[in-house]
Amino acid sequence: MLNRRVSIRLLCPVLAIFAIVMTIRAFPVIIDSVVSASVETFLGLSVAERHTDKDQIASNESPNIVPIFTANSITSLGVPFTEDFGGMEDSSAATLPAGFKIGTDWNSGTTVTTNALGTTGALVVTGSSAGGVINWANGVSSGNTERALGFLNSSGFPSPRSIILKLTNTSGSTITDLAISFDYEKYRSGSRQFDWTFFHGSTSTATTSAAGGDQSYPADANNTVVSNPPLTIPKSLNLTGLSIANGTDYFLR
């Protein structure tokens, strides 16, 4: 049994809540183990939008948050694994990075965003922006490759919603630990409380909770204040006692 450390770093670790908007941007993952794995950027847990209170957030009344993930194969240990979502560019119908899906079950999830919004400029998010899966931009959306993946909840696009990342262990070793770090980003105020919850597991619905990745956003006085740049809260957590055999998948939501 090797006690080696693998580091997977996703450079898009941001979770943004918009009324409610959730986004993931740059997040690194590190894998530690025998072999172990450590995710330093929310590598796939998709900060699941598996909300509890989030379910109560209605149309454009919740805050914005963004998480971050990337490639879905762990080929070696101790090597940074990163994703910054820059490849989605400024498209409103952007294809998600490999391994990422939107939904409560990875197997039936979708892989395309429904809108692109920014924190300023022509496509700035507002209190009346339509809900959906958002390709977020820090600043002006058009021509901007500093992106994040998230949501904007509304009466027509209610909670819960999840961003799920599937990781496949092809390192040749068994991974026992994941070190994950990522950022939550809030792009706009929201008049309803919004709670992000973090889950992981060996099934496509990832049901094991990890409280260290959770984040609660209290209700704001309104849903009209845009944060430019978005407000950021960093998160770091270690998932230990795992047994991700070579050739098998693991999910972060």
User: What is the count of structural domains for the chain?
Assistant: 1
Which whole number is the average pLDDT over 126-138?
A: 95
Query: Around Cβ 86, how many Cβ atoms within 10 Å?
Result: 15
Residues 160, 62 contacting (CB under 8 angstroms): no
Which whole number is the average pLDDT over 166-185?
A: 90
Write the DSSP string, 59-100. Answer: TT-S-EEEE-----EE-SSSS-B---SGGGTT-TTPBPPTTE
Span 198-217, pLDDT tens digits: 999 999 999 999 999 999 99
Picking from 4-8, 43-47, 180-184, which range would have the lowest pLDDT averaged per residue?
A: 43-47
Nearest-angstrom CA–CA distance, 229 and 237: 25
Which whole number is the average pLDDT over 233-250?
A: 94
My answer on whether omega of the bond before 35 falls inside 30° of 0, hence cis, is yes
- The token pair at 14 is 């941001």
Instruction: Report the share of the chain in percent with pLDDT over 90.
Output: 55
Task: Give the chain's mean pLDDT.
Answer: 76
Query: Around Cβ 106, how many Cβ atoms within 10 Å?
Result: 24
User: With the C-alpha atoms ordered 66, 72, 77, 78, is the resulting torsion angle positive or negative?
Assistant: negative
Asked whether the predicted pLDDT for residue 51 surpasses 60, the reply is no
Longest CA span, the chain: 55
Asked whether the predicted pLDDT for residue 64 surpasses 50, the reply is no
Report the pLDDT value the prediction gives residue 123, as an integer from 0 to 100: 97
* Residue 21 burial (C-beta neighbours within 10 Å; 0-12, 13-18, 19+): buried
Asked whether the predicted pLDDT for residue 58 surpasses 50, the reply is no
DSSP annotation of 56: G
Nearest-angstrom CA–CA distance, 185 and 232: 4
- The token pair at 49 is 């939008």
Nearest-angstrom CA–CA distance, 78 and 2: 12
Which run of H or E residues covers position 6? strand 4-8
Asked whether the predicted pLDDT for residue 154 surpasses 90, the reply is no
User: With the C-alpha atoms ordered 128, 131, 137, 143, is the resulting torsion angle positive or negative?
Assistant: negative
Report the pLDDT value the prediction gives residue 34, as an integer from 0 to 100: 29
CB contact set of 108 (below 8 Å; sequence gap of 6+) = none
Where residue 10 falls among pLDDT bands split at 50, 70, 90? very low
Report the pLDDT value the prediction gives residue 73, as an integer from 0 to 100: 85
Picking from 41-55, 105-119, 143-157, which range would have the lowest pLDDT averaged per residue?
A: 41-55
Instruction: Report the share of the chain in percent with pLDDT over 70.
Output: 71
Asked whether the predicted pLDDT for residue 46 surpasses 80, the reply is no
What is the domain extent for residue 172? 4-252
Report the pLDDT value the prediction gives residue 153, as an integer from 0 to 100: 87
